[in-house]
Chain A
Amino acid sequence: MAEILIGNFPLVAAVVLMGIGLYILIFRRNLIKIVMGITILSSSVNLFLVTLGYRTGGIAPIYTDAPEGPMVLPVVQALTLTNIVIAVATSALILSLVIRIYRHTGSLDSKKSRRMKG
C-alpha cells in the first residue's frame, strides 16, 4: 500500500488538492475563499493532467538538439495550457463580480449577498 502511494505520489497529491478545493467550495462562506477554492480545484486538475503524460526516464518533448530516449507526452501539456488560460479568464471574471457584489452589499459574506431565495 505504501509503495503504491509513494510511487504515484503526484496523482495522490492531485486528489488531495481536489478534496481541499471541494471542501472550501462547500463549507466556506467568504466570497474570496470561494474564488481560491476554484483556483485550487483547477490546479489539481492541471496537476493530474500533466502527471498522466509522464513516461519513466522521459525527457522534455522538444526536438531541438534532443538526446536519445523516450519523450513525455506533449498532448496533455497542451491540454493543461489551455486549462490554465481558461482559469485566468474565469478568475478575472469572477473577481470582477466579487468586487461588484461588494460594492452593492457592503460585505464579502455569501450569506449576506444571497438575496434571492425560494
Chain B
Amino acid sequence: MATLIEQSSILIIAIPLLIAFLTPLIGMASKKARNTVVIVGLAFVAFLVFALARDVILNGIHIYTLGATSSSLTIPEGTMIPVRIILEVDGVSVFMGIVVAIVALVAVVYSLSAMKEETGQNRFYTLLLLLIAGTFGMVFTGDLFNLFVFLEIASISGAALIAFKIRFADSQEGGFKYIVVSAIASLMVLFAISLLYAQYNLLNMGALAAAMQYTMLDRIALVILIAAFAMKLGGVPMHMWLSDTYSVAPASITVLLITASQASMYALMRICFILYGVTLDLAVVGWIIIAIGILSMFVGVTMAVRQTDITRLIAYNCVCEAGFMLIGLGVGLAVLGDRTALSTYGTTAISGAFFHMINHALFEGLLFLVAGAIFYRIGTRDINRMGGLGHTMKLTAVFFLLGALASSGLPPFNGFASKILIYESVYQFNPILTIIGILVSIITLAVFVKAFFSAFTGALLPKYADIKEVPKTMIAAMTIFAVIIIIFGLFPGLIVDWIVRPATDALVDQASYINAIMGAIP
C-alpha cells in the first residue's frame, strides 16, 4: 500500500492514458467490456486520488521525479538545479484532483446512456479519457512546460468532444470557437514561459520561484500569463466563447469542461501565489483579479437574464460564479504580504474561493446534466417551447430545483456555505464587493426561478404527453451530484477542515513548495 501511494501521483495520470488507448482495441471486440474497463479504471483512479489526498494532507508535499533512480531524487549529484519532469502534489493539487475525480466518474456514468446511439463511441471514450488525463496532469505537475503540454492536451480533446455530434451545426461552431481561443491562449502561455526560461534557464516552478527577481521581462511574462489563463477560464473581457461552447456540447462533456476551466484558474493561482509570491506588486495584481471578478459577476448575471436557451442561461451563470471565485482569490492575493490581514480574513477568502470551486463544479454540473436530460427527451433547448415537464420528469425537476437553489446561495445547500465565507472575508477588505455579490446572487435566484417555472411547472403540453423519465444511468449520475451537494450543505465545517483548509495553507506557503524541490536529499 505504501508503494502504491508513492507511485499514485503518476498512476493517476498514466492509467487514464493507458485505458484511452486500450479503448479502441477493446471496443472493436465488445461494447460492454469497453464500458466496464472505463468505469473500473476511473473508479480505481478515484480511489488513488483519495488515498493520495489523505497522505498529502497528513504527511506534506509529495514529490515524484519521472525517470530517476528514486522517485524523490529531484537534484542529481553534480548538478544544482532540478533536471527532470517532477510532479509536485500539495494540498491545492489534491483538492483539484478530488474535484476532477468526482466529476470524471459522474460524467462517464452519464455518458453510458446519453451516448448510446451515437456512432464512433470508441473515439468518444478515448477523447474523454485524454481530457481527464490532461486535466489531472495540469493540476499535479510541478513544471511550467508540462503545464503547457497538458493544457493543450485538454484543450484539443475538449474541442474535438464539443463538436462530437456532427449533425448539429452549432456544435461545430462552438468547437471551432473553443479551439481558436485555446490555441491563442496556449501560444501566449508558451511565449511567457520562454521569456521566463530565457532569463533564468529553469522550467521547474519551485526552482524558478526561488530564483525569481521581479525584472521588467518578468512583469511582461506575468501580464501575458494572467491574460492567457483568464482567457481560458472565461473571465470577462474574454468570456464570449463560454456561452457558445458550454451550451452546445454534450452534457457530460460540459461538466468536464467546467473542470478544465477550473484547472486554468488553479494554474493562474499557482503562478500568482507560488511562482511570483510576495515579489509581485500585490495590491495592483490583486485588484486586477478582483476587477475581472466583478466584471464577470455583472456581465454573467445580466446576460443570463435575457436568455431563452436553457443551457446558455446556465453557461452565463458559470461566468458569474467564476467571478465569485476570482474575487475571493484576488482579496487573498492583495493581502498576501500583510501578515495580520492575511490571518484575519485573507485565508478565509481563499478558503471560500476553493470551497466555491468544488461547489461550483457540483451544482453547475448538476444543472447541465439536467438540461442535457431535457434535451435528450424533447430535442429542444428553448425555454419558450418547454412547459409542464415536471408532471412526467419528476426526478429531473427536483434535481434542477436543487441545483438552482444551491447556485443562488440559499441555505441549507452548499452554495450558501461557500458564499458566506466569501462575503464575510471580502467585507472586511472592501464592503462594496460584498454588496455587489449579494445583489448578483439575488438576480441569479430570479433567473433560475423563471427558468424552473417555465420549463417544469404549468400545464402539460400535449406534445410532451408521452415523455418518460430519462434512463437509469443518467438518473444515477445526477443523484451522485445531488447527494454530494446536500452533504456538503449540511456539514460544511467538516469539508472545510478536511480538504479546504490544507489547500489554503498550501497556497499561501511558498517556502515549503520551494523546499520540497530544492532541499530534497536523495
Given A52-B194, A52-B198, A93-B159: A100 touches B187 (CB 8 Å cut-off): no
Across-interface contacts of B186 in A (CB, < 8 A): 86
Determine if B469 is an interface residue (Cβ-Cβ < 8 Å): no
**A69-95 interface code vs B (CB 8 A; 1 in, 0 out):** 000000110010011001001100110
| Contacts A98-B176, A114-B173, A116-B173 given; does A90 touch B145 at CB 8 Å | no
B50 interface contact, C-beta 8 A? no
Cβ of B163 < 8 Å from any Cβ of A? Answer: yes
Min CB distance B383 to A, Å, is 14
Instruction: Tell me whether B160 and A104 are in contact (CB under 8 A).
Output: no
B85 to chain A, nearest CB (A): 12
In the docked arrangement, what's the CA distance between A48 and B188, Å?
12
How far apart sit A17 and B35, CA to CA, in the bound complex (Å)? 47
Question: How far apart sit A104 and B172, CA to CA, in the bound complex (Å)?
Answer: 9
| Pairwise interchain contact B198-A100, C-beta atoms closer than 8 A | no
A79-B143 Cα distance, complex, nearest whole Å:
13
Residues on the A chain within 8 Å of B159, using CB: 93, 97
Residues of chain B within 8 A of A41, CB atoms compared: 183-184, 187
Given contacts A25-B184, A79-B194, contact A105 B156 (CB under 8 A): no
Q: Chain B contacts of A18 at CB under 8 A? A: 191
Shortest distance from the beta carbon of B215 to any chain A beta carbon, whole Å: 16
Alpha-carbon distance A49/B194, docked complex (angstroms): 6
Interface size class on chain B is 35 or more
**Which chain A positions have C-beta within 8 A of B149?**
82, 86
Chain B residues lying within 8 Å of A45, measured Cβ to Cβ, are 187, 190-191, 194
The answer on a CB contact under 8 Å between A116 and B191 is no
Docked Cα-Cα span, A45 to B190, in Å, equals 8
B464 at interface, CB cutoff 8 A: no
Chain A's interface: helix, strand, loop or mixed, by majority? helix
Closest Cβ of chain A to B189, distance in Å, is 10
Q: Which residues on B sit within 8 Å (CB–CB) of A31?
A: 176
- Asked whether any CB of chain A lies closer than 8 Å to the CB of B6, the reply is no
Looking across the interface, which residue of chain B has its beta carbon closest to that of A97?
Answer: B176
- In the bound complex, residues from chain A placing their C-beta under 8 Å from that of B190 are 45, 49, 79, 83
Encode B149-191 as 1/0 by CB contact (under 8 A) with A: 1001000100110010010011011111001100110110011
Q: Are B170 and A116 in contact (CB under 8 A)?
A: yes
**A118 proximal to B (CB < 8 A):** yes
Inside 8 A of A101's CB, which chain B residues have their CB? 169, 172-173, 176
| Complex-state Cα separation, A48 to B173, whole angstroms | 32
| Contact code string A30-62 (vs B, CB < 8 Å = 1, else 0) | 010010001001100100110010000000000
Residue numbers in B under 8 Å from A52 (CB-CB): 194, 197-198
Does chain B have a CB within 8 A of A107? no
Contact of B194 with A94 in the complex, beta carbons under 8 Å: no
Contact of A76 among B169, B176, B183, B197 (CB under 8 A): B197
A72 to chain B, nearest CB (A): 13
CA of A90 to CA of B243, assembled, Å: 22
Q: Which of A82, A83, A86, A113 has the most CB atoms of chain B within a 10 A radius of its CB?
A: A86
A42, B172: Cα distance in complex, Å: 23
- Which of B's residues lie within 8 Å of A, judged by CB? 145, 149, 152, 156, 159-160, 163, 166, 169-170, 172-176, 179-180, 183-184, 186-187, 190-191, 194, 197-198, 203, 243-244, 247-248, 303, 306-307, 312
A to B CB contacts below 8 Å, 13 in the list = A34-B180, A38-B180, A45-B194, A49-B190, A52-B197, A76-B194, A93-B156, A93-B159, A104-B169, A115-B169, A115-B170, A116-B173, A116-B243
A45-B190, A113-B173 given; name 4 further pairs at CB < 8 Å.
A94-B176, A94-B180, A101-B176, A118-B303
